[in-house]
Amino acid sequence: MKWVVFVVTMAFVTLFFWYQVNKTGNIPKPGQIAPAFDLPDQGGKMHKIDDYRGKWLVLYFYPKDGTPVCTKEACAFRDGFAKIKSAGADIVGISLDDASSHVQFAAKNHIPFSLLSDASGKVSKEYGVLMNLVIFRLAKRYTFLIDPEGHVVKVYDQVQVYAHVNEVLDDLKRFSSR
Protein backbone atom coordinates (compact mmCIF):
# COMPACT_ATOMS: atom_id res chain seq x y z
CA MET A 1 0.00 0.00 0.00
CA LYS A 2 2.88 2.40 0.76
CA TRP A 3 4.25 2.03 -2.74
CA VAL A 4 0.85 2.94 -4.23
CA VAL A 5 0.75 6.13 -2.15
CA PHE A 6 4.34 6.87 -3.19
CA VAL A 7 3.61 6.30 -6.91
CA VAL A 8 0.43 8.42 -6.80
CA THR A 9 2.27 11.20 -4.93
CA MET A 10 5.16 11.16 -7.41
CA ALA A 11 2.73 11.17 -10.35
CA PHE A 12 0.94 14.18 -8.86
CA VAL A 13 4.21 16.05 -8.23
CA THR A 14 5.48 15.25 -11.74
CA LEU A 15 2.21 16.35 -13.31
CA PHE A 16 2.20 19.55 -11.26
CA PHE A 17 5.74 20.49 -12.35
CA TRP A 18 5.04 19.52 -15.97
CA TYR A 19 1.99 21.79 -15.91
CA GLN A 20 3.92 24.67 -14.33
CA VAL A 21 6.70 24.41 -16.91
CA ASN A 22 4.40 24.09 -19.88
CA LYS A 23 1.62 26.52 -19.07
CA THR A 24 1.86 29.93 -20.61
CA GLY A 25 -0.06 33.09 -20.11
CA ASN A 26 -1.54 35.20 -22.84
CA ILE A 27 1.23 35.23 -25.42
CA PRO A 28 0.77 38.17 -27.79
CA LYS A 29 -0.29 36.99 -31.22
CA PRO A 30 0.86 38.41 -34.54
CA GLY A 31 -0.98 41.64 -35.24
CA GLN A 32 -1.37 42.57 -31.58
CA ILE A 33 0.43 45.51 -29.99
CA ALA A 34 3.47 44.29 -28.06
CA PRO A 35 3.06 44.72 -24.30
CA ALA A 36 4.83 47.74 -22.83
CA PHE A 37 7.94 47.47 -20.71
CA ASP A 38 10.12 49.81 -18.69
CA LEU A 39 13.17 47.88 -17.52
CA PRO A 40 16.82 48.57 -16.68
CA ASP A 41 19.67 47.17 -18.78
CA GLN A 42 23.05 45.93 -17.62
CA GLY A 43 24.30 49.51 -17.36
CA GLY A 44 21.31 50.78 -15.38
CA LYS A 45 19.75 52.62 -18.35
CA MET A 46 15.97 52.30 -18.53
CA HIS A 47 14.42 50.95 -21.73
CA LYS A 48 10.81 51.33 -22.83
CA ILE A 49 9.21 49.66 -25.80
CA ASP A 50 8.47 53.16 -27.15
CA ASP A 51 12.25 53.69 -27.44
CA TYR A 52 12.14 51.24 -30.37
CA ARG A 53 9.24 52.78 -32.31
CA GLY A 54 10.24 53.44 -35.88
CA LYS A 55 12.51 50.39 -36.14
CA TRP A 56 12.24 46.64 -35.95
CA LEU A 57 12.86 44.93 -32.63
CA VAL A 58 14.03 41.41 -31.91
CA LEU A 59 12.90 40.90 -28.31
CA TYR A 60 14.05 37.63 -26.85
CA PHE A 61 13.35 36.12 -23.45
CA TYR A 62 15.73 33.59 -21.93
CA PRO A 63 15.84 31.65 -18.66
CA LYS A 64 19.17 32.44 -16.98
CA ASP A 65 22.48 34.22 -17.49
CA GLY A 66 25.49 31.94 -17.77
CA THR A 67 23.67 28.67 -18.44
CA PRO A 68 24.95 26.75 -21.47
CA VAL A 69 22.00 27.15 -23.83
CA CYS A 70 21.34 30.77 -22.83
CA THR A 71 25.01 31.58 -23.42
CA LYS A 72 24.88 29.93 -26.85
CA GLU A 73 21.76 31.90 -27.74
CA ALA A 74 23.21 35.24 -26.60
CA CYS A 75 26.46 34.53 -28.47
CA ALA A 76 24.53 33.58 -31.61
CA PHE A 77 22.73 36.94 -31.44
CA ARG A 78 26.10 38.61 -30.76
CA ASP A 79 27.59 36.97 -33.84
CA GLY A 80 24.59 37.99 -35.96
CA PHE A 81 24.35 41.46 -34.41
CA ALA A 82 25.82 43.36 -37.39
CA LYS A 83 23.53 41.60 -39.88
CA ILE A 84 20.45 42.20 -37.74
CA LYS A 85 21.39 45.88 -37.29
CA SER A 86 21.96 46.27 -41.03
CA ALA A 87 18.50 44.75 -41.59
CA GLY A 88 17.14 47.68 -39.55
CA ALA A 89 16.47 45.97 -36.22
CA ASP A 90 17.62 46.22 -32.65
CA ILE A 91 18.09 43.22 -30.35
CA VAL A 92 17.08 43.18 -26.70
CA GLY A 93 17.30 40.22 -24.33
CA ILE A 94 15.18 39.87 -21.18
CA SER A 95 15.51 37.53 -18.23
CA LEU A 96 14.59 37.60 -14.56
CA ASP A 97 18.26 37.99 -13.60
CA ASP A 98 19.28 41.23 -11.92
CA ALA A 99 21.34 43.92 -13.64
CA SER A 100 24.59 42.90 -11.92
CA SER A 101 24.23 39.38 -13.32
CA HIS A 102 23.68 40.91 -16.76
CA VAL A 103 26.83 43.04 -16.37
CA GLN A 104 28.98 39.95 -15.78
CA PHE A 105 27.24 37.89 -18.47
CA ALA A 106 27.51 40.65 -21.10
CA ALA A 107 31.17 41.38 -20.29
CA LYS A 108 32.24 37.75 -20.28
CA ASN A 109 30.53 37.04 -23.62
CA HIS A 110 31.08 40.45 -25.30
CA ILE A 111 27.35 41.04 -25.77
CA PRO A 112 26.89 44.28 -27.77
CA PHE A 113 23.16 44.72 -27.12
CA SER A 114 21.01 45.45 -24.08
CA LEU A 115 20.03 42.76 -21.60
CA LEU A 116 17.08 43.90 -19.53
CA SER A 117 16.36 42.85 -15.96
CA ASP A 118 12.79 41.78 -15.32
CA ALA A 119 13.44 40.88 -11.67
CA SER A 120 9.76 41.14 -10.72
CA GLY A 121 8.70 38.92 -13.63
CA LYS A 122 5.96 41.41 -14.56
CA VAL A 123 7.04 41.85 -18.19
CA SER A 124 7.65 38.13 -18.67
CA LYS A 125 4.13 37.53 -17.37
CA GLU A 126 2.72 40.18 -19.76
CA TYR A 127 4.36 38.33 -22.66
CA GLY A 128 3.06 34.99 -21.37
CA VAL A 129 6.52 33.48 -20.89
CA LEU A 130 6.85 33.41 -17.09
CA MET A 131 7.39 29.97 -15.57
CA ASN A 132 6.63 29.85 -11.87
CA LEU A 133 8.10 26.66 -10.45
CA VAL A 134 7.13 27.29 -6.82
CA ILE A 135 10.74 27.52 -5.57
CA PHE A 136 12.03 29.63 -8.47
CA ARG A 137 10.85 31.55 -11.53
CA LEU A 138 12.26 31.74 -15.05
CA ALA A 139 11.34 33.20 -18.41
CA LYS A 140 10.69 30.67 -21.14
CA ARG A 141 12.84 30.85 -24.25
CA TYR A 142 10.69 32.87 -26.67
CA THR A 143 11.49 35.53 -29.25
CA PHE A 144 9.14 38.21 -30.54
CA LEU A 145 9.70 40.07 -33.79
CA ILE A 146 8.10 43.50 -33.41
CA ASP A 147 7.55 45.91 -36.30
CA PRO A 148 8.30 49.65 -36.29
CA GLU A 149 4.70 50.45 -35.26
CA GLY A 150 4.96 48.18 -32.19
CA HIS A 151 2.96 45.21 -33.47
CA VAL A 152 4.06 41.64 -32.90
CA VAL A 153 4.80 40.20 -36.33
CA LYS A 154 6.07 36.77 -35.36
CA VAL A 155 6.38 34.67 -32.22
CA TYR A 156 9.16 32.08 -32.02
CA ASP A 157 8.25 29.47 -29.44
CA GLN A 158 10.44 26.62 -30.63
CA VAL A 159 13.85 28.27 -30.62
CA GLN A 160 16.68 26.23 -32.12
CA VAL A 161 19.62 28.24 -30.84
CA TYR A 162 22.05 27.85 -33.75
CA ALA A 163 19.48 28.30 -36.53
CA HIS A 164 17.46 30.99 -34.77
CA VAL A 165 19.44 34.05 -35.86
CA ASN A 166 19.19 33.08 -39.53
CA GLU A 167 15.47 32.41 -39.13
CA VAL A 168 15.00 35.86 -37.58
CA LEU A 169 17.08 37.47 -40.36
CA ASP A 170 15.06 35.73 -43.07
CA ASP A 171 11.81 36.88 -41.45
CA LEU A 172 13.11 40.43 -41.01
CA LYS A 173 13.91 40.62 -44.71
CA ARG A 174 10.57 39.08 -45.66
CA PHE A 175 8.38 41.23 -43.39
CA SER A 176 10.26 44.50 -43.88
CA SER A 177 9.97 44.25 -47.68
CA ARG A 178 6.15 44.27 -47.54
Chain centroid, CA 64 distance in Å:
10
Q: Choose the catalytic residue: 57, 70, 115, 129.
A: 70
Buried b (16+ CB within 10 A) or exposed e, 123-138: bbbbbbbbbeeeeebb
Contacts (Cβ under 8 Å, ≥6 apart) of 50: 36, 150
Nearest to 167 by CA among 108, 86, 84: 84
Query: Does 70 participate in catalysis according to the annotation?
Result: yes
HSE-up (13 A, CA, CB side) for residue 160: 4
Would you put residue 128 in left (φ > 0), alpha (ψ -120 to 50) or beta? left
By residue count, the chain amounts to: 178
Q: Which residues are catalytic?
A: 70
